[in-house]
A = this chain, B = another copy of it.
Amino acid sequence: MQGMSVLESIKSVRRGAKELALLSDSQRVSLLERAATALLERSSEILAANELDLIESKEKGIKDAILHRIALPLDKLESTVSAMRAVGSLPCPIGKVKERRLLDEGLLLEKVTYPLGVIGMIFEARPDAMIQIISLAIKSGNGIVLKGGSEAKNTNQAIAKILTEELDGAHWMLLLSTHFDVDMMLKAEKDIDLLIPRGSNAFVRHVMENTHIPVMGHADGICSVYIDSEADISKAVKVATDAKVQYPAACNAAETILVARSIAKDFLPLFKESLDNYSVKIHGDEETRMYIDCIPATEEDYHTEYLALELVIKVVEGLDEAIDHIAACSSHHTDAIVTENKEKIVRFFNEVDSADVFANASTRFADGFRFGLGAEVGISTSKLHARGPVGLEGLTTTKWQLTGSGDIVQTYSGKDAKKFLHKELGL
């Protein structure tokens, strides 16, 4: 598409989103139900398109790991559609009264949640992610501009075509496909309220640096586990191992293990034994290498997101040095302490400036589903709006609604000013 025509198309999503926003929750749930039914009834179209994507990708020599993400066989489509229905049954995030205050008799103030408007989502080559994102958009009443990975473009287009045809045009949705389209999205600050980029660190950073639209998400996920001098060693081995090996490609997997000097001698050999079961490649500082055999660590290792069965270990004096190391090297995503000392837990929680701070639990718990948020839009390392795992609430904004009966501010001004009542009402 040409630049103007992409921007015009995005503008039309704004109009479509307005209609979606005005639906009731039950209408949105029934829209989700119609979408789910349509995707299953016309699954053969999706599977055929997916077959094409896989053939083209194989021809291009794309790796198996990526092919696995592109693949959308019937059972995966069915479970994705089940998840779509599950999103429908989540509590409605819209129309929730967050504050209710009587400013004066007959002058009622309410702060109420509304959809943000239009979400711009840039995602990788996973067509199931596209269905999930559409589900979240429908449930939260937001329009959605999607740009999916080009390796799955036939599948994505099949999904968009079905939904457009079966959901009265689905004018609240737009599927884009080229890099040029992404550039246009970054410019559409009047018509996109929030960008959610998924992808490589470099790509997310590129988005953050090239748009004035607010961006939700995270670039790096350099998470640490600090093993304190007062740690229970068996818990420490268990937690630090899980944090690394349970799913090493995730952003909440640990990359750095900090070990208090006084416990290093006892902890490190047992930890190495545990990691060896998973063939984890270990980098260690000089002191670590006094206790276990591993690759010498460089400064760069402390800033590296391995996303693989690989980690770096550093011996520190104690909590203070651990906090300083995390401040300097962590990406403020998720950091954990293992200790039996409750005061140290409090200090770690207070002083580590990350979205998620954990005590005696694996960093891998940092996830919307595990947190009990129902569905996850993504994980935000921003300090504003939404931080950490973000559920549907992160796709909402609020309005202040004030209802009076001819009230004017002059009544509350000057010498004979009436006083406000400011009475808090229940929610």
Contact = CB atoms under 8 A, between A and B. Distances in A.
Interface of A: 18, 21-22, 101, 103, 107, 109, 111-112, 114, 116-117, 193-194, 208-209, 212, 214, 232, 234-235, 238-239, 241-242, 246-247, 338, 345, 349-351, 353-362, 364-366, 370-372, 382-385, 387-389, 397-410, 412-413, 420, 422
10 contacts: A194-B384, A246-B408, A246-B410, A354-B399, A359-B403, A362-B409, A365-B409, A370-B420, A384-B385, A387-B397
Nearest to A338: B406
B420 A397 contact: no
A371 B193 contact: no
Count chain B CB atoms within 10 A of each CB in A117, A234, A401 and give the residue with the most: A401
Contacts of A410: 242, 246
B101 A401 contact: no
A344 to B, nearest CB: 12
Contacts of A232: 406
A15 to B, nearest CB: 10
A371 B101 contact: yes
Contacts of A407: 239, 360-362, 365
B405 A360 contact: yes
Nearest to A422: B372
Given A103-B370, A407-B362, A408-B239, A350 B208 contact: no
A399 B387 contact: yes
Nearest to A342: B403
A52 B407 CA distance: 43
A115 to B, nearest CB: 10
Count chain B CB atoms within 10 A of each CB in A338, A370, A413 and give the residue with the most: A370
Contact of A22 (B338, B351, B364): B351
B361 A384 contact: no
* Ranked 4 nearest A-B pairs via Cβ: A235-B406, A361-B404, A242-B408, A364-B409
Contacts of A357: 399-402
Given A209-B212, A242-B409, A400 B366 contact: yes
Given A351-B18, A365-B103, A402-B356, A383 B117 contact: yes
Nearest to A398: B387
Contacts of A214: 214, 382, 384
A402 B365 contact: yes
A232 B242 CA distance: 67
A395 to B, nearest CB: 11
Given A357-B399, A366-B400, A388-B400, 11 more contacts: A101-B372, A107-B365, A109-B372, A235-B406, A239-B406, A239-B408, A246-B408, A338-B406, A359-B403, A361-B402, A389-B400
A392 to B, nearest CB: 14
Nearest to A111: B388
